[in-house]
Amino acid sequence: MTPNLARRQPDGGSWKELPKVKLQRKNRLRALSLGAVAVSGALALTACGSDDTGKDNGGGSSSAASNNSAIKCDGAKGQLQASGSSAQKNAIDAWVKAYTAACKDVQINYNPTGSGAGVTAFTQGQTAFAGSDSPLKPEEATAAKKACGGNAAVDLPMVGGPIAIGYNLPGVDNLVLDASTIAKIFDGKITKWNDSAIAKLNPDAKLPSTKIQAFHRSDESGTTDNFTKYLKAVAPSDWKYSGGKAWQAKGGQSAQGSSGLAQQVKQTAGAISYFELSYAAEGISTVDLKTEAATPVKATVENATKAISTAKVAGVGNDLALELNYKPTAEGAYPLTLVTYEIVCEKGNKADTLAATKSFLTYIASEDGQKLLTDAQYAPIPAEIITKVRSTVSNLS
């Protein structure tokens, strides 16, 4: 503490001079002057370090500065309209929050209408890009050329993750199912929770005779496409439908979007459905999958990443559509996965949205953007694939 300063009276009254008034006053003024110099010096040091602790160059807040350091706005401005996959909505929300904190001249509106509706909106020229949990089919790719001025659209894998099978069965905290049993449940062939096929996989569980309430998507969905691709690949004798974004099996109940399915499971005893893992984060139990591995596999980001890392690029040219492996042999690899693509024109993008589209897609494909996925219960795209995505985005025109 600085010596020789005058002290305030205990009752909070006026300053009271100590003896030797003139000397005390002189010392007090000198100490205050030195204090002011110290404070101003500290402020100067803080200002010099503002790139690290204060506002970033993009105008973001101090709390977002470190997260936004890799975001390059590159003159982006205006509104960016996009729609599609509801499975990636929670990832998009996290990305948009970080991106718009740095690039304040851009407003991004993402409507989670489902993959089918998102692709339709894109091919009709209504959006800058679409989110889809499956790559463009040939007829969709042909339609997309019109929106791209005669140029091709490309599938860019940005989000990976497990499709969780959520259930609501009071008293049963752990449940193991295999592909065959899942297929029979969603095809209406198994209708009670204490069915012998389920009991065989869960010998220690006290399974009730509750009726199974199986919910599927009412809208065209890439999640449905990937879910049924898994059933077709692993249990073809029990799932004889051709598959696709529209639900084909008879029976069951339906709901709109992944959030709608999760809500139905949460409020319906005996319910079971499929949705991206982040929708199961709030109190919904998920099935462990019985695979060829010795131990049933839990639906986790890490386990999905093990399976996705075995995917192969099946697209031609700069299109990066992936061929997923639904029968991985590694222990801990969760095979029921999906990859969400951002679908965008390779060339022929609208001039008023090109800068914002490239800036935003560059960010979400960056290391920082991909790191956000784990916290949001998604799996980052493997490094060798996301590197190709960044290269393709850099050449969009």
Cβ atoms 379, 161 nearer than 8 A:
yes
Token pair of 193, please? 């929770």
Residue type, 285: S
Separation CA 140–CA 120 (nearest Å): 8
Query: Which residues share a beta bridge with 273?
Result: 166
- The reply to whether CATH 3.20.20.10 applies to domain 163-308 is no
Q: Which DSSP symbol is given to 129? A: E
Structure-token pair, residue 339: 């990859």
Percent of the chain past pLDDT 90, that is, above it, reads 78
pLDDT of residue 282: 72
DSSP state of 280: G
Provide φ and ψ at 107, rounded to 5°.
Answer: -115, 125
Chain segment 36-90, per-residue pLDDT in tens: 333 333 333 233 332 333 333 333 333 333 356 679 999 999 999 999 999 899 9
Instruction: Say if 70-159+343-394 and 163-308 have the same CATH topology.
Output: yes
Separation in Å, CA 328 to CA 185, 216, 301, 335? 23, 25, 15, 6
Of 34-43, 118-127, 256-265, 266-275, the poorest mean pLDDT is in 34-43
What residues form DSSP beta bridges with 162? 337
Domain ranges of the chain: 1-7+19-41, 70-159+343-394, 163-308
Asked if 245 contacts 135 with a C-beta cutoff of 8 angstroms, the reply is no
What tokens were used for 347?
A: 């060339």
- Are residues 199 and 169 in contact, defined by beta-carbon separation less than 8 angstroms? no
Tabulate helix, strand, coil % of the chain (nearest 5).
40, 20, 40
The CATH architecture of the domain made up of 70-159+343-394 is: 3-Layer(aba) Sandwich (3.40)
| Rg, Å, the chain Cα set | 28
Q: In terms of Cα–Cα distance, which of 87, 74, 81 is closest to 132?
A: 87
pLDDT tens for 353-368 read: 999 999 999 999 999 9
Distance between CA atoms of residues 258 and 223, nearest Å: 8
133-185 pLDDT tens trace: 999 999 999 999 999 999 999 999 999 999 999 999 999 999 999 999 999 99
- As a whole number of angstroms, the distance between CA 260 and CA 246 comes to 16
